Every structure is written in structure tokens, then in C-alpha cells.
Structure 1
Amino acid sequence: MGAEHLIINREASQAALILGLQPAALIDHVARVDWSLLDQIPGERGGSIPVAIEELEHILSEVKTHILDEPSPIKTIAGGSVTNTIRGLSVGFGVPCGLIGAYGDDQQGQLFVSNMQFSGVDVSRLRMKRGPTGQCVCLVDASGNRTMRPCLSNAVKIQADELIAEDVKGSKWLVLRFGMFNFEVIQAAIRIAKQEGLSVSMDLASFEMVRNFRTPLLQLLESGDVDLCFANEDEAAELVRGEENADSEAALEFLAKRCQWAVVTLGPNGCIAKHGKEIVKVPAIGEAKAIDATGAGDLFASGFLYGLVKGLSLEECCKVGSCSGGSVIRSLGGEVTPENWQWMRKQMQIRGLPIPDTRT
């Protein structure tokens, strides 16, 4: 099946305007839980710390006794930050997208591929490999904040030397997420993308990732090969920690010196962005009630990238991002429901933004 996937729709795959690099396919197990479970789990609440498969299975078994008012306890879907962004672009904005990466020859791998195909994402660049598919437990508290515990240590993933120019030919953007686990793959993908004339968008992943691997992150940013960078306020704070004015504005300036577009999302306070000399601040959408913050930044990126490929202004890109980011937090998990896509389109209409032509 893996070989078929590399051949299927290769012509169609050329048309993918935006490609996501998800080196290891990931399945999310999302559940709303009470605080007592979060107190039992090692690591800071609200962050993302890798765990072994035994720990992941233990957390999943505990979840069932700590569920908050959900009729179905655990929602299992294709996950990963880049996957969420690409699926959002495909389903919610009708942008032709594809994914580059690998998935395991197990039930989770099949679930990942079928979810992506159903979402209209080109999967011809996904390689099937022998071994397990990555998994992540996403625990959401009563306030909608999420704590993630990914298990990727033994998951199959694409290797740097497996990436080829053919993977990115004809596309305009490569979307990726910073991570030490995949650093060589990220470097190789950026090198190939730049050779083929693609722009590169990078998300800073988590405040722990910025804190623990600041040197390689700076190496990527200083290269000038990252055209667009997204950071949330926690990641932004880590980026400029120790500087005189270590706030979101300082982080925005820091990123804007190294990237063409810099965006810092501020949760309920909206976002700030800079391109060239232009700086904009856009409020969040007040009508967005947060059930689960999972995917808010990922879907913000979907909207912002849609704005860029449509040629919208910086402020409009941020507004579309706020609409799409607001749509995903209204239900559980990083996948937007059809009702919430309708809600997003209504918000875009109110703000005079171009409505995407989609099948949702």
C-alpha cells in the first residue's frame, strides 16, 4: 500500500498549493477531564511533554474515570499541529493541500490516512512503514486549556534522506512545526523547498521546545529560510526571555527581523503581526466560546495562509486567522465541525472578508 501511495495521484499532487511536513503521522485521543487527573500527570499543566507508550496507555485508562460531561469519552482523530493546519486549509478554505510524512502499518496509520483522504488532502507523499503510528493524549480541562502527552519515540517517521525534490515541485508553501525530534528532516525539507522556490511557514511548537532547544531554533531563524513564523504568547515569552523588554511585542520584533511575516497569537486578546514595516493588532472574536483550545493556533495558521495565497492584506490575514482559530475552539479536538465552519463563514462575512469556495 505504501508504494501505491507514492504513485497514486502524482499528477494531482503537483497541484497541491500548500504542503505540510508531518514527519511522523499522529493520532490524537482528545478528552475533557477534571483537574484531579491533570494533578496526577507529571510535567507542567498546559504543556506538551513526550511520554512512553506505557504512560500513554496508563493515561488513557485513567481518562475514563475523569471525564467531564461528555457523552463519548474520547475523540480519536488524525492529529498533529501541521495536520490540523493542512486539514483546515483543505476542508474549510478549499485550498489544494498535501502532506509529506510516514505512517505505520497499524490501525492508527489507516485511521490517519482515511481521515486525511476524507478531508480532501493529497496523501500521495505519505509513505507507509513497518511499525507503530505516533499517538498523543490531549487532556482538556474545564476552562478549555489543553495538556498534551505525545508518544513518538517508537513511531515510524520519514527520514531526511527520503525527501526528494519531486515531493515539493509545483507547490507554493511548505508548512512545518519546529521540533528537535525531527530536526534533520526539517532542515532537509527546508533546503529542498528553498531549491524549488517554495516559501516556508514554521510554528514554534511549545514553550518547552523553545526553552530547551533555543540554539537550533535560532539557527533556523537566522538562516533567513523561514518566511513566516507563528508563536503563541508563551512561546514568544521564552524566545525573548532575559531581554530587557521580554514581552510579545519584543518577540514580534525579534521574529520580524528574521522572517518576512511574524505573528504572535495572544489567545483571547487576539494577535499581533508584522510584515516589512507594517504592524497590526487584531482582536479575537468575542463570539467564540472556548470548549477546547486544541488546534486554535493551527487553525489560525490555516486562515492566515489562506489570506496570503489569496493576496489579502496583513490585517485581513489576521482577521481570517481569528475567524478560523475561533471556529475550532467551539468543539472538542483539532478538527472543525461542519456547523463551526458555517459559523466561521458567517464571521468572515460580517467582517467583509472573501468567503472561501468549499464543499463544507
Structure 2
Amino acid sequence: MDKIIGLGNALVDVLATLKNDEILTEMQLPKGSMTLINEDKLQKINEYFDQMETHLATGGSAGNAIRGMACLGAATGFIGKINNDFYGNFFRNSLLERGTEANLLLSNTLPSGVASTFISKDGERTFGTYLGAAATLKAEELSLDMFKGYAYLFIEGYLVQDHDMILRAIELAKEAGLQICLDMASYNIVAEDFDFFSLLINKYVDIVFANEEEAKAFTGEEPEEALDIIAKMCSIAVVKVGARGSLIRKGTEVVCVQAIPVEKVLDTTGAGDYFAAGFLYGLTCGYSLEKCAKIGSILSWNVIQVIGAELPETNWERIKKEITEL
């Protein structure tokens, strides 16, 4: 089985379920988006959280995806940056207990990153993300050895603010023979850094994951047309269309996979990350595109029915059985 390594913001999610969306307006956090916040705003959010029931989980888009793959039994690694503090140790231990190789660099100046995660009544999630140490990962800290032995590099779109670091990671990964996978991450991130996304996808990226809002922000088109446009730029294009499922295109091969119906969406945190985890796990096993997408759908279906992006061990046992029966 091929090995896969993730490059992402090493974050710990602090999750809270909202009675209404007033706090989102007050904190100027557009519903459904990921907004970077400073330490002052984090402090204000923490004041709210002190009065609410919260749940702690390892987070970050690439971190979620790598965790999902590791729980399926894939050989995984992760590159990120933390502080040697409570949240940093929580993140490191979470990787190690699932057998993931932890290439975690240390910051002595900023605390570990935290993603304040607001879950609305309809299950939509909104992030106020304080990157802290995670954002201090620099191009010169990356080395070729970090990428050797892996077949795929999974990059989260939330990292694109540091162009030099992303380009250095891709350069080293390509030198080590890896294929590059990019998850677009959030429609507002795509819109804000459109030119750089265009450069990456046209020139370097082999596999692109986008939901319909991100695909529209990138192409200006609806999912089917967006899929065709993105597929001309890379090897495999994946556009997720929520409750309708997913669209995949590789060359002339087009696959449409229905989502598994769900009665109640509890929390969409990690849904896209877990779809990518299932899809890429399938690729490392050599499965067809259709089976890869079906595994992605199974993981997404499971994670939207729990708070946060962690599944109980009993779920993973059932998921593995379902995969063998596909």
C-alpha cells in the first residue's frame, strides 16, 4: 500500500454547538466560512466558550484527512508546527496513537493553533481560526527527507497564504517522486488567492478536491462545468456536491457517486476532509475511482453524525467491513 503524508496547519478544534447564530454576527464570522482571527478575538471567543459546553478534538483540514486514513489502516505522516504546550502535545499524541509519523517542528514564540468551531442548528460549521505556531512553518524548515518514502502529498488550501512554503514543499515532494493532492479548503480562501490557486493547479497539482462553492469560486461555473474545467488542469478532479454526492473526472472518465442519505446532520465539521481521506485511501489501495468515491461517501456520512471530526472505534470497525463489501 502506498504511503501518504499531509502538510497542514496543526490545530486543535474547540467545538461548541450554538442555540442561534447571533454570536457569528457579533464576531463577524460569515456562516460556513473559515476566518483567520487574532489573539484578541480568540480571547473574546474564549469568554463565550467559558459559558458553553465545549468539546476538544485534533483538527486542521489535512490533520483530519490524515487521521481518517490512519484509522482505515493507511500508512501516514504529517508535517506541521506546534508549540510544546497543552494543545501542541494534545495534537502530537493524537497523531502518534494512530501510528502516524509526526514531523512536527516547534515554535518557541507563539502558542499552538486553535480552531474555534461554531456548530449551527442546521449542522453547518463556522471556524474562527487562530493559527499561532502553525503559521510559522517556513520553507527553509522543510527537507527532502520528510517526503522520502511517500507516494502522495496532501496539502490543505488553508496553507496558501505562505506561497514560498507551499512551493518549496511541492518542489521537494516532486523531487521525491510524490503526487500532489490539494483540497481547496474554503470558498473565501479560493477567492482571496485565486491567482496562486490557478498557478498551483495548472502547473503542479495532480489531484484536486473542491466542494461546489469552492469550485464556483475557482471557475465561476456550476459543479458539472467546473469539474470539466478543473479536470483539464490536473490528473483527477473531484467536486463534492453535498447531499447529491460527488463528481469525479480523470481524462475522459467521469464518475458520479450518490451521497448516502442521512436523517439528521449533527455537524459538518470534517465532512470534506473525511471524503478526501476515504478517496485517497482507496487510491493507495489501487481501487477504481467509483470505489474511492464510495469510501469517501461512507466516511463523510459517518462524520456528519457526530460532533467534531473524530469517530468512535466501533464506527471504524463497521466502516472497514463496509469497504470490503463494496
Fold equivalence (TM over 0.5): yes
Superposition pairs of residues 1-360 of structure 1, within 5 angstroms: 17-22=3-8, 24-35=9-20, 36-65=22-51, 67=52, 73-91=53-71, 93-123=72-102, 125-131=103-109, 132-152=111-131, 155=134, 157-178=136-157, 179-223=159-203, 225-241=204-220, 246-287=221-262, 289-345=264-320, 347-348=322-323, 352-353=325-326
Report the residue type matching 1:320 in the other structure.
Answer: I
Residues 345 and 155 (structure 1 numbering): CA distance in 2 closer, same or farther, change over 3 Å?
A: closer
Deviations 1:57-114 (A, max 9, x none): 211321354x5xxxxx1111221000000011001x1001011121112211111111
Conserved in 2, the CA contact under 8 Å of 1:130 and 1:156?
A: no
Question: Which segment drifts farther, 230-239 or 29-38?
Answer: 29-38
CA–CA distance in 2 between the matches of 1:288 and 1:203? 27
| 1:88 counterpart SS class | helix
Report the CA distance between 1:181 and its aligned residue: 2.4
Unaligned runs of 5+ in 1: 1-14, 68-72, 354-360
CA–CA distance in 2 between the matches of 1:322 and 1:237? 21
CA–CA distance in 2 between the matches of 1:261 and 1:113? 31
Report the residue type matching 2:148 in the other structure.
Answer: K
Conserved in 2, the CA contact under 8 Å of 1:288 and 1:330?
A: no
Report the residue type matching 1:321 in the other structure.
Answer: G
CA–CA distance in 1 between the matches of 2:236 and 2:16? 34
Question: Which segment drifts farther, 175-184 or 340-349?
Answer: 340-349
Deviations 1:97-147 (A, max 9, x none): 011121112211111111111222111x21222131111101001111001
Aligned residues: 323
CA–CA distance in 2 between the matches of 1:119 and 1:262? 29
Deviations 1:187-236 (A, max 9, x none): 1111111111101110001000111110111011111x211000011101
Q: TM-score, normalised by structure 1?
A: 0.85
Unaligned runs of 5+ in 2: none
Report the residue type matching 2:27 in the other structure.
Answer: I
**Percent identity of equivalent pairs:** 33
Deviations 1:149-187 (A, max 9, x none): 101256553210111111111110100012332322111
| 2:215 counterpart SS class | helix
CA–CA distance in 1 between the matches of 2:315 and 2:164? 37
Residues 191 and 155 (structure 1 numbering): CA distance in 2 closer, same or farther, change over 3 Å?
A: closer
CA–CA distance in 1 between the matches of 2:323 and 2:74? 17
Report the residue type matching 2:11 in the other structure.
Answer: L
CA–CA distance in 2 between the matches of 1:348 and 1:190? 31
Report the residue type matching 2:49 in the other structure.
Answer: V
Residue in 2 aligned with 1:8? none
Report the CA distance between 1:348 and its aligned residue: 3.3
Report the residue type matching 1:27 in the other structure.
Answer: V
CA–CA distance in 1 between the matches of 2:318 and 2:123? 19
| 1:77 counterpart SS class | strand
Conserved in 1, the CA contact under 8 Å of 2:237 and 2:249?
A: yes
CA–CA distance in 2 between the matches of 1:38 and 1:102? 28
| 2:42 counterpart SS class | helix
CA–CA distance in 1 between the matches of 2:127 and 2:235? 30
RMSD: 1.8
Report the CA distance between 1:327 and its aligned residue: 1.3
Conserved in 2, the CA contact under 8 Å of 1:211 and 1:239?
A: yes
| 1:115 counterpart SS class | helix
Conserved in 2, the CA contact under 8 Å of 1:204 and 1:235?
A: yes
CA–CA distance in 2 between the matches of 1:37 and 1:44? 11
Conserved in 2, the CA contact under 8 Å of 1:26 and 1:136?
A: yes
Conserved in 2, the CA contact under 8 Å of 1:16 and 1:97?
A: no
Deviations 1:279-298 (A, max 9, x none): 01111111464210000000
